[in-house]
Chains A and B, each alone.
Chain A
Amino acid sequence: MSELIGLWIAALLTVFILSFLYKDNPFYKFAEHLFVGVAAGYVLALSWHNTIKPNLVEPLFYQGEWILIVPMAFGLLLFTRFIPKMSWLSRWSLAAIVGIYSGLAVVAIAEADFVTQIRATLIPIWDQTKWTQFSNQPSIVHFIHLFTNFITIFGLLTILFYFFFSVEHSGTWGLIAKIGTGLLMVGFGAGYGYTVMTRIALLIDRVVFLLGDVIGLL
């Protein structure tokens, strides 16, 4: 029974949100506000079970790790934002958060997003396995695969050059920068197309849910 009620609640909320495609209406507003409340409550419950309880409450109150009073106090200091005269105290907590995560990020980002990405580009220009693949099965797709490594290496260089402003982008340099711009546009276009298709897939999922699970037409 509760499963059936749940199914109908999900169906109604789905229709309420989709109704915004016609125009803004009270049903959509209800679902929108409900979503905000549920999402915030969800974060609250998850924070409690995954973070606050195992990292603070249990070690502090059941295992006697009294040192944890310090981060608890820092966490509570954030709430001084509600008291204008004392709100400057929240900067202490903010400083701890920003400091710890900045310190971690400086090294982690440099390693994961900088060094790793450059390392992934240091590959041979010519990949013999792709040539063998093309020889065995000649096709347009296998043909373009021959240029994979070449585009990966020189494409990256052209895009990076586009962001390098110490040289005027004219003549040969201008051409290189233009190739970089073109590759960037391909990347943006691919990103756009992929995002639209992901959203469409979600929409199809909702339509299948409404027509299949709820009404039973599919």
Chain B
Amino acid sequence: MKREIPLAILLITGLFMIFQYFVPHYAISDIASKIQQWAIIITSGAALLGIANLLRVSLDQAIARKQDWMYKWVVIVSLVVTGVSGIVGGIEPGTFFNDMIYFHMYTPMASTMYATLAFFIASAAFRAFRVRSWQAWLLACTALLVMLGRIPFGKMIWGDFPQFVDWIMNVPNTVAQRAILIGAALGAVATGLKMIFGIERSWLGGGD
């Protein structure tokens, strides 16, 4: 009961979504689009669950005065203020949510967080990466060429450097990405089918 019903739901919905692709009848398409709308609603429930869980964990830690408890209040207050201002006041340009929170808080923080990753990537590569084989040489040289080709100094060394780097990105890089994509696609299709047919059940979690 606790495992069979979810497996049945998964089998029925999964098979129907595959079936509807091969039967382009309006009645089937209509049901499929309704089911997709339902999936969007259920998935948004999952997003809300994640947010509720973040609130719960942060509140627990803040009330219990665990390590860094005062910062948990920052999470709680900022989450509530952002969420409420967005829901009540709207998200269009001109609102507090869009003009203050999104443009002056979320965007600068997000881009600075990503910007700091430049240092972490470089430092992690410096510490972990050792050029000992021809494959490692190839990787390091390509990375260096791509980086040089993206800055004005690269063009100073060789006028066609940016075009050469574009070729690396568009040809050997695309070929490698394409091969990985084909492999990943085969894996994803196999995993999807294994889930639909109940062979792969790790998503059910432990317990009964």
Contacts and interface: CB of A to CB of B under 8 A. Distances in A.
Given A37-B79, A95-B7, A110-B189, A75 B109 contact: no
B121 A140 contact: no
Q: Chain A: interface secondary structure?
A: helix
A74 B43 CA distance: 10
A38 B82 contact: yes
A103 interface: yes
Contacts, number: 404
Contacts of B195: 98-99, 102
Q: Most chain-A CB neighbours within 10 Å: which of B36, B76, B78?
A: B78
A218 interface: no
Contacts of B115: 18, 199-200, 202-203, 205-206
Interface residues of B, number: 129
Given A99-B10, A189-B138, A41 B146 contact: no
A103 B106 CA distance: 35
Given A44-B83, A49-B90, A97-B39, A29 B48 contact: no
B28 interface: no
Contact of B179 (A29, A74, A160): A160
Nearest to A194: B146
A169 interface: no
Nearest to B184: A113
A109 B118 contact: no
A165 B75 CA distance: 49
A187 interface: yes
A189 B142 contact: yes
B4 to A, nearest CB: 10
Contacts of B54: 36, 40
Contacts of A9: 100, 104-105
